[in-house]
Amino acid sequence: MALQCGIVGLPNVGKSTLFNCLSNAKAQAANFPFCTIEPNVGVITVPDERLNKLAELVHPQRIVPTTVEIVDIAGLVKGASKGEGLGNKFLANIRETDAILHVLRCFDDDNVTHVDGSVNPVRDKEIIDYELQLKDLDTIDARIQKVQKQAQTGGDKAAKQAYDVLVKYKEALEQGKSARTVQFETKDEQKIARELFLLTSKPVMYVCNVDEASAVSGNKYVDMVREAVKDENAEILIVAAKTESDIAELETYEDRQMFLAEVGLEESGVARLIKSAYKLLNLETYFTAGVQEVRAWTYEKGWKAPQCAGVIHTDFEKGFIRAEVIKYDDFIQYGSEAAVKEAGKLGVEGKEYIVQDGDIMHFRFNV
């Protein structure tokens, strides 16, 4: 599953520094706007200790983790919705992503200029929100013009439903709220809403970029962000991008862990961010484990066994017969598939089985 998170933010908030930590692809991290003109794409491995523990027991020829694509998108400025700066390019790039990692500057540094002259993460957030909301309003107004007449005079039920969804979104956007704050109860409404592909309906995580001293507990700027987004359906993550950059330069795992311990962190901000981005996309992991490979597979939370089988190959889904399932904890406890079977812990599941995070799966199919 090629899923993308887009890193966005105003110029000079630490986007490219963070991207460099996440990926071996080196975006320019310069002290001026628009140093990232084309979106840089990094394919990021999702850290998962379960994969390593399975490999220790199975001794496979190779280990294949799951991944998420991270896209570093050019910094946005006021007026982007009207084409200012790299506005149209920015908006086109963000539309293609599945979720947004919105980086906010939450540190003071006289050596790094702020595009608006002072540090205020809530103002910065509102600038980008405003530009995205304006673009979504343009989309909504254009759709309303298309369906309004049919909805109000033609007796077209589908047009009426679409019109009602559009009006709800329009009301929220005109109040300065993002589309993600609007909830729809029926499946039909939810389907119409999804198909609009609104920029502000995408799941969002606010990444508060702090100085090293604030890496563990945050600071006054982070508190400002927490208060500003408390009513949004959004997450907050604290990362010290400059510190993460220093950690990434260290050659050995032991050195990196020692550095983290000195700062007071158990896990790097990069690892936390990747895991959080994975959850933000509503993703989970199941495993296949054999002597050839131990592999992590990405699926959407709530998927049934045939859909998850289709992640490996479409034939697995078409010809699905059953799934043999071992719970991760059982595999670790008993140490092998044979021992799990002997203990009577191997489950045989049909088409209605909802796959659980960490399941070790073997699919039976016939095409």
In this structure, what is the dihedral angle of CA atoms 290, 294, 298, 300, given to the nearest 10 degrees?
A: 50
Place of tokens 């390019």: 89
Distant-in-sequence contacts of 90-97, Cβ < 8 A, 24+ apart: 90/8, 91/131, 91/132, 91/135, 91/199, 93/6, 93/39, 94/6, 94/8, 94/132, 94/199, 94/202, 95/197, 95/199, 96/4, 96/6, 96/71, 97/4, 97/5, 97/6, 97/71, 97/73, 97/202
- 113 annotated ligand-binding residue: no
Please answer whether residues 139 and 145 qualify as being in contact, where contact means their C-beta atoms are separated by less than 8 angstroms. no
Is 14 one of the annotated binding-site residues?
yes
The 10 Å Cβ neighbour count of residue 292 is 11
Beta strand 67-72 with 4-8 is parallel
Cα–Cα distance, 205 to 235 (Å, whole number): 5
Burial tier of 243 (Cβ tally within 10 Å: 0-12, 13-18, 19+): buried
- Report in angstroms the alpha-carbon separations of 351 from 26, 172, 308: 44, 40, 10
* Helix (H) or strand (E) run with residue 193 in it: helix 187-194
Cα–Cα distance for residue pair 329/344, rounded to 1 Å = 14
344 assigned ligand-binding residue: no
What are the C-alpha distances in Å from 306 to residues 69, 273, 318?
25, 30, 8
Is 12 annotated to bind a ligand? Reply is yes
Neighbour count for residue 197 (Cβ, 10 Å): 12
CB-CB contact of 173 with 179 (8 Å): yes
Cα 147 from Cα 86, distance rounded (Å): 32
Evaluated on CA atoms 272, 266, 111, 29, the torsion sign reads: negative
Please tell me the distance from the alpha carbon of residue 10 to that of residue 75, in angstroms, as a whole number: 5
| Binding site members | 12-17
| Binding site members for ATP | 12-17
